[in-house]
Amino acid sequence: MGTQYHIRVPFTVENKIHNKIISQQQLQREIDALLVSINQEMSTYLVNSSISLFNQSQTTDWFPVSTRFLEVVKTAQRISHSSQGAFDITVMPLVNLWGFGRSKKHSFPSQQQIDSALDKTGYQFLQIQSSPPAIRKQKMHLSIDLSAIAKGYAVDAVALLLQKHQFQHFLIEIGGEIRAQGQNKQHQPWRIAIEKPTTLYRSVQQGLKLNNSAIATSGDYRNYYEKDGKRYSHTINPKTGKPITHKLASVTVLNKSSMIADAQATAIMVLGVEKGKLYAQQENLQVYMIFRDKGKFSVWHNLPINSLLK
Ligand code: ADP
Ligand code: MG
C-alpha cells in the first residue's frame, strides 16, 4: 500500500498469560504474510494484484474475487449509497488525471479531459455478487481504487489475527489508520493525538484516549499541491470530478471498525463541514472536524468528553 505500519503488543501479564505459544518472530511473520496477501489483492501499485487485473480487464463479465475483497467492496458500496456518492471507489481515472495516482505528476486538466474521465466513473456501474464472490463492470472502462478503505481493512485484519492469538492489548497503525484494544504497557488507556492540519510543522491538536476503538483521519494538509494560491488535495469530489476545495481541513472518525472509520473519514472530507455534520448524525458517527474559519482553525466534534485529553 506504499506505506508503513507500526504494531505494539505490550509485554503485560495478561498478554502473557493468555498467550503462551507464539514467539515475537512468529507473530511478526504471520502479520507480514497477512499484509502481503492483502496487498496482493488490493494494491493498485502491483500490476498483477487482483484489483489491477480487474482494472485492466475490459469485459463486463463477472470477475471472481476473494470473500475479503468482496467484503471491502461491499462496505465501500454501502458507504457510497449512504453518502450519496461522496465516497466512490471508481474515481481512479480522476485521481490519475489530477496527478494523485501512481505517477505523481500534477497537472491541470481541461474540462473536456475531466468530462471524459468522469465518463469512466460511477459506483452504480459496479455490481457485486456474494456467491460465488465476484464483481462486475457495467461499463467497460470502469476501474476501482481502494486507497481510501483498504488500509483500514488491513488494520481490522491484523486486529483479528492478534485476537485469534488471544492478545488482549494492542495498538495497530497502518499508514495513519489506527485501532486500539485494551491498555498500554503502563496499564493506561492507549493515547493518540489528532494532528493540527498544518503543512510546515507537525503538532498536536487534540490528545485522545482510545477505548477499544479505531480512528481514521482524512485531511487536505499532507497530500496536495498549490496553484495560484489554491490548494488541490488528493480527495476528489466524484460529482464535479475535481479535487475538493472547501474549508474542512481534516476530519477524524472513531468507530469499532477501522475499515468504516477510514472510508467514512474520506466521505465526510468530500461532503465538507455542513453536509458532513448532518451525515455524521444520520450515520451515528463520532467525528472531530477541524475547519478554516476567518484565518484560523475552528473545531466541531461530537466525541464523548471523557475521551478527550486535556
Ligand atoms: P489517505 O490515503 O491519506 O489515508 P484517504 O483515506 O482519504 O487518505 O484516501 C484518499 C485516497 O482515496 C486518494 O489518494 C484516492 O486514491 C482515493 N480517493 C480520492 N477521492 C475519493 C473519493 N471521493 N472516494 C473514494 N476514494 C477516493
Ligand atoms: Mg480513508
pLDDT digits (tens), the chain, 310 positions = 888 999 999 877 666 766 667 888 889 999 999 999 999 999 999 999 999 999 999 999 999 999 999 999 999 999 999 999 999 999 999 999 998 887 767 778 999 999 999 999 999 999 999 999 999 999 999 999 999 999 999 999 999 999 999 899 999 999 999 999 999 999 999 999 999 998 888 899 999 999 899 999 998 877 777 777 778 888 999 999 999 988 999 999 999 999 999 999 999 999 999 999 999 999 999 999 999 998 899 999 999 999 999 8
Percent of the chain exceeding pLDDT 90 equals 80
Q: How far apart are CA 73 and CA 274, in angstroms?
A: 27
CATH number for the segment(s) 59-70+84-137: 1.10.3980.10
pTM exceeds 0.85 for this model: yes
Give the three cell numbers for residue 215.
480512528
Chain region(s) in the chain for CATH 1.10.3980.10: 59-70+84-137
87 CB near ligand 1 (under 6 Å): yes
Three-state secondary-structure class, residue 109: coil
88 CB near ligand 1 (under 6 Å): yes
Give the three cell numbers for residue 93.
481515472
Chain region(s) in the chain for CATH 3.10.520.10: 178-309
241 CB near ligand 1 (under 6 Å): no
The residue to mutate among 234, 259, 287, having the most atoms of ligand 1 within 8 angstroms of its beta carbon, is: 234
pLDDT at 232: 83
100 CB near ligand 1 (under 6 Å): yes
pLDDT at 310: 83
Three-state secondary-structure class, residue 14: helix
Q: Determine contact, residues 62/134, Cβ cutoff 8 Å.
A: yes
pLDDT at 229: 78
Sign of CA dihedral 27, 33, 38, 43: positive
CATH superfamily entry for domain 178-309: ApbE-like domains (3.10.520.10)
Burial class (CB in 10 A: 0-12, 13-18, 19+), 111: exposed
